[in-house]
């Protein structure tokens, strides 16, 4: 009986060793296959799903980066605009694509940090359905007024808002985005209100501001800079800790007399459906960072007041998690809701 037990133990030990060896070989094979895929990636066109309309800051930045990636990879990198529902439609589509790295979703402050805290039933889970790939850029929000508004400074604008509650129309490019929350936070800090008017995008919103249909408007400096320099709108303050390199003459909210105002800097990045092998994620990240550091992209972003992104995919993932927490507090404090 004793010999049988020992013999059985030896057999079990051998079997366990064989199983462990097989598992190790399988793992080695999987890792080797992933690295082989990364080395071969991409061997066909790549698509970037932009969940916003053509012509806006998100679309322009995506196309700029796509062009540089296409040059580097010798493959077409296409931009697929799928706007709607505050960016949720496009990202829901991207989340359901094959996890092979050939479809990327452009994520942003609104879709990846604000919306998860704002919508009760999102058609995707920002944490579970995506793996963050690369941070593209950060762009400050700027407070604008129509040139006919008599206020030339933040102090004067707040005084005007208080003297005529609700008389000024306040616009923003989309319900629930960072510009919307910035406008609400301004009203709370000033102790005054505007009549809020949401637009489907900056194209309509900026036209309304220049045409006088709205008197106050929040948007990113990328959109505002050309109209500010042309004298078609007036900049009051930048909602970021430092002045924008593209609008160095515009003071921050702290400099303009409202210290402690929330940093509502917007950002854009790329994410892939969960399951994409990390070697491919890192390959995309490295190429995106090279594109952002190149003089053509970097100079363009700095000229429009945007800071080029950088860092690893893991660093972008941690940044996105921290932003969801930060904007969650802002959504709760502002009381902003969407239907």
pLDDT of residue 22 exceeding 70, the answer is no
User: Which 3 state secondary structure label does DSSP give 254?
Assistant: coil
User: Which 3 state secondary structure label does DSSP give 144?
Assistant: strand
Residue pLDDT, tens place only, 88-122: 999 999 999 999 999 999 999 999 999 999 998 89
Q: Is the dihedral of CA 64, 69, 70, 75 positive or negative?
A: negative
Tokens read off for 17: 């060793």
Residue pLDDT, tens place only, 225-269: 899 999 999 999 999 999 988 889 999 999 999 999 999 999 999
Taken in order of first residue, the domains within the chain and their CATH numbers are 46-138+266-334 (3.40.190.150), 141-238 (3.40.190.10)
User: Which 3 state secondary structure label does DSSP give 79?
Assistant: strand
Residue pLDDT, tens place only, 270-309: 999 999 999 999 999 999 999 999 998 998 888 877 889 9
Alpha carbon distances (Å) from 286 to 27, 84, 120: 25, 30, 35
Give this prediction's pTM: 0.82
Q: Is the dihedral of CA 119, 121, 126, 128 positive or negative?
A: positive
H-helix or E-strand spanning residue 54: none
Hey, which residues does 268 pair with through a beta bridge?
A: 108, 137
Alpha helices for 125-240 (secondary structure H) = 154-163, 178-190, 202-211, 221-229
Alpha helices for the chain (secondary structure H) = 2-40, 57-73, 88-95, 115-118, 154-163, 178-190, 202-211, 221-229, 278-293, 295-303, 313-334
Tokens read off for 315: 């660093």
Question: 146, 225, 142: which is closest to 186 by C-alpha?
Answer: 142
pLDDT of residue 28 exceeding 90, the answer is no
Provide the pLDDT for residue 54: 87
Cα–Cα distance between 308 and 212 in angstroms, integer?
33
SS3 content of the chain, % helix, strand, coil (to 5): 50, 20, 30
Residue pLDDT, tens place only, 184-229: 999 998 899 999 999 988 889 999 999 999 999 999 888 898 999 9
Residue pLDDT, tens place only, 31-84: 444 444 577 899 999 999 999 888 878 898 999 999 999 999 999 999 999 998
């Amino acid at each position: 009986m004793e010999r049988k037990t020992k013999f059985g133990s030896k057999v079990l030990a051998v079997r366990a060793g064989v199983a462990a060896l097989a598992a190790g070989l399988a793992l080695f094979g999987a890792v080797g296959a992933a690295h082989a895929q990364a080395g071969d990636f991409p061997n066909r066109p790549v698509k970037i799903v932009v969940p916003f309309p053509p012509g806006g800051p998100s679309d322009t930045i995506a196309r700029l980066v796509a062009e540089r990636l296409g040059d580097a990879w010798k493959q077409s990198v296409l931009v697929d605009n799928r706007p709607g529902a505050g960016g949720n439609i496009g990202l829901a589509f991207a989340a359901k694509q094959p996890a092979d790295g050939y479809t990327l979703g452009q994520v942003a402050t609104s879709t990846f940090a604000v919306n998860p805290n704002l919508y009760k039933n999102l058609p995707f889970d920002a944490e579970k359905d995506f793996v963050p790939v690369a941070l593209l850029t950060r762009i400050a929000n700027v407070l604008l007024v129509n040139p006919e508004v008599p206020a030339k400074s933040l102090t004067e604008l707040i005084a005007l808002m208080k003297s005529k509650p609700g008389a000024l129309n306040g616009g923003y490019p989309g319900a629930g985005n960072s510009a919307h929350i910035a406008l609400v936070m301004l009203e709370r800090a000033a102790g005054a209100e505007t009549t809020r008017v949401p637009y489907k995008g900056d194209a309509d919103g900026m036209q309304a501001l220049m045409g006088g249909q709205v008197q106050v408007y929040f948007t990113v400096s990328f959109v505002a800079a050309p109209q500010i320099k042309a004298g078609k709108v007036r900049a009051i303050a930048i909602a970021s800790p430092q002045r924008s390199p593209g609008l160095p003459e515009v003071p921050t909210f702290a400099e303009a007399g409202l210290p402690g105002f929330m940093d509502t800097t917007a950002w854009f990045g790329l994410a892939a459906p969960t399951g994409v092998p990390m070697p491919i994620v890192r390959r995309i990240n490295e190429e995106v960072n090279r594109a952002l550091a190149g003089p053509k992209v970097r100079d363009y972003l700095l000229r429009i007041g945007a800071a080029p992104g950088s860092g690893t995919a893991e660093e972008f993932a941690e940044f996105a998690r921290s932003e969801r927490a930060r904007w969650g507090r802002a959504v709760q404090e502002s009381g902003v809701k969407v239907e």
